[in-house]
Chains A and B, each alone.
Chain A
C-alpha cells in the first residue's frame, strides 16, 4: 500500500469514527430529558393551563414527537448540508457560533501548539544532554512546576500580578482588536504562557527519557566517530527516533488540553472561544450547539490522530503501511 492509499484509508476510517461518535452523542442527548419541555409544562401550570398539553405542544414544536430514527436521519442530513441548526443559547446559527468562537480559540491555540511542539522536545533533549547537571534539574523543575500547577489557578495568579498589580496586560479580553496587533499579543501572552507551561512539562519529560536511550546508542557513537557535529547528532540521530513515541504523547496531550484546559483558560481570561461554547451548550442543553461543537472536537481529534500516524511513518521508515 502506497502512502496515498494509506492516507485515503485512514481518512475514510476517520470519517467512520466521526460518524460513530456523533451518532452516540445524538443518542445520549435524545435519551436525556429535555428541560425546555419541562419548563413549558411548568409555565402552563403557572398559568392554570394543562401542563400535559403544553408538554406535548413543546415536544411537537421541537420535533421531539417524531420517531427517533426520523430525527436521526434529519440530523444526519443537516450535518452534511451544513445546516447544523439554530443555537437557542446564543440566538444564532450553530455554524456561525462555531466559526466565531473558533476564531478566538485559534488566536491562542495556534501559537500555543507551535510553541509546545517546538520547545518541549528541545528542552527535553537539552536536559538529556546535560543529565543530572543543574541545567537538567532546572529544566526538570520547570517541567514539573508547569505540569503540576493547575492552569486555572496559575492563570488567576498571573492575571493578578500582571493584570491588576502591574497593569501590563488588560484584565478583560477585547474582541475588537486586530488579530495581528501588539494589543492582541498583550492580551494573549498570559493564556498562551499558561497553556505552554502546562503542556510542555509532559512532553519535555518523555523527550528527555526517550532521548537518554539514544544518547549513547551505537549508531550515535558511530555518527560521532565519523565526525558528525554535536548539533547534527542531537537533531538528526537522537531527536528523530525520540519523536516517534513522543508524537503519540504529544497529540494525545494536546487534544486533552485543547478540550479541557482551553475551557478553563477561556473562563479565566474571558476569551469567547470554543471550549466555553461547548461547556455552556452542554449546561444549557442546547442540543444543536452541543452536537456541532462535538463534531468540531471530533474532527480535530481524528485529524490529530491521522497526522500522528503519518508522522510515524515519515519519522520511522521501517514502519510499513501494510500492517496498519
Chain B
C-alpha cells in the first residue's frame, strides 16, 4: 500500500514516534535512537515513499547542520590545540583505522566465499570500508551530552566529552565536504574544496553586508525574519546543489551567513528550533525507515535464504557496535589517563562517547545518495548507530558503577602521574583541613585556611589546574579524591575536617563513611538530599542556594526597608564582582552553567 499520501505517511510516522518516545523516556533512553527505532517500525510497514520522505529528511539534515554552524561560528575560534583535542584526533584515527581494517576483513571473507551462500550485492572494498571507519571514529555532541538527563554533573568529564565531541563534529563536516566530492581522488576533492570555499566566502559576505539589510527590511517582524532566514538557508542549499556539492556544505555556509543574535531575535531563533526539531525527527525516523529487516515470517519459512544477505549486515553492525561501545572507551580512557586525567573522569568521559554519532549517520546518508555507499553497509551503519546509542545510554547511567567494577578488578592499572610534583603534601600531616575541589569555592576556602593559619590539603582532579595549584597552594594532590594513592598521601584519617565541594554521590558516600573519625562537610544542591546527608553523619551540608539565600535576604530586606538605595545595592553588587574571582579552569566543583534543554 504505497498509495498513501505524504500527510498520512507523516501522520503514521508521528503516531508511532509518540508512544515510543514515551517508552524511551520511562526507560531513560535518549530521543535519537527512539526516533530511528520508530522509523524502523514504520519502514517495515512499507507505507513510506522513500524519495519523498528523503526530501523532507534532508531538510532535517540541513537544519541540524545549520543550527550547529550558527552556534559554532559565534564561539571564539582558538588557535591553540589543547590536549583534549589531541586526544580527540588520536582517538578518531585509531578507531577509524580499526573500523577500516575490520570492514576490509569482512569484505575479504565475503569475497573469498568462505561462508557458503552468504553475501550481498556489491563488493565491500576500500571505499566502503572507509565509511565504516568514519562511523567508528565519530561520536557526537548531541547524543553525547545533551539528550540524556543526568543527575549531578561532574564538570571535568563533561567538558572533556564536550570538547572531544565538538572536535568530532568539526571533523565530520570536513569529511562531508570530502564525501560530497563523489570519489576519493585528488582532483575532484580539490574542486569540491574550492566550491566549499566559494560558498563560505559568499556566506561571510552575506553576513557582513546583506544580513543587516534583511534585518532592516523585515522591520522587526519575527515571522518575516523567520521565513527570510529559512529562505536564506534554502538559497544556500540550492547553490550547493547547483555546484554539485553536498547540501551539508550549503547548510554549514548558511549558518555562517546568519548573525547569531538570540536576544533581539529570540522569537526567530525559538522558531528555528521548533522547525529544526520537527524536521530532524523526520530525518532520524526516515533513516530508520530506510533499513530493511528480514521479515519475521520469511525467517521462519526459509531461514537460510532470508538471512544470508542479512548476515554480513548484522556482522558489520555488530563489529561497529563492539568498536564503538567497547574499544572506543578503552582507547579514550588510555589517552586521557596518559594526559594526566584521573581514572574516574577519564572513564566517565570515555563512556560518554561510546556510540556511532549522528554526524556519521549524515555522512552515511549523503554517501548513499551520492551512490558511494552500498545499501548493506549503510544499513549496518544505521543499525549500529541505533544499538550503540541505546547502549550508550546504559553505560552513561552506570558509568560510576562500571568505573568501580573495573577499578576493583585492577583493570584500570595504577594512576598515571606524568608530573613529579603531583602532590606536595608534607609526610605525616595531621589535624589539617582537606579541601576537595579547587574551583571558585575551593580556592576561597584555601585562602581562608591560610588567613587563619590552618594547615590544609587541596585535592583536585583536573590537570589543567596544576599551575594554579603550584602557585597558590601550600599542599595539594592532583588526582581523584578516592583513589587509594590520594587517600594515602592526603592522610584523611588524621584530618581535622574534610570539606568536599564536589557533588558526586560516589565522593559524598566515601567521605560520609569516614564521618565517625573525621568531621565531614559535603555539598549538594538538592534539599531533600541535604537532610538525608546530615542524618548520615555529615557535620554540615553545603546547600549553595540556602547559603546564598541567607546572604541575599539581608540585602533584599535592606533595599525594601530603605537601608540601601537602589544605587547603593548596585554598587554593593559591583564591588562584590572584584572579590569573587572566577576559577581559571573548569573544576569538578564549579556550578555547571545551565545546560541547554535536550534538543535534537
Q: Do A and B bind each other?
A: no
| Residue ranges of A at the interface with B (Cβ–Cβ < 8 Å) | none
| Residue ranges of B at the interface with A (Cβ–Cβ < 8 Å) | none
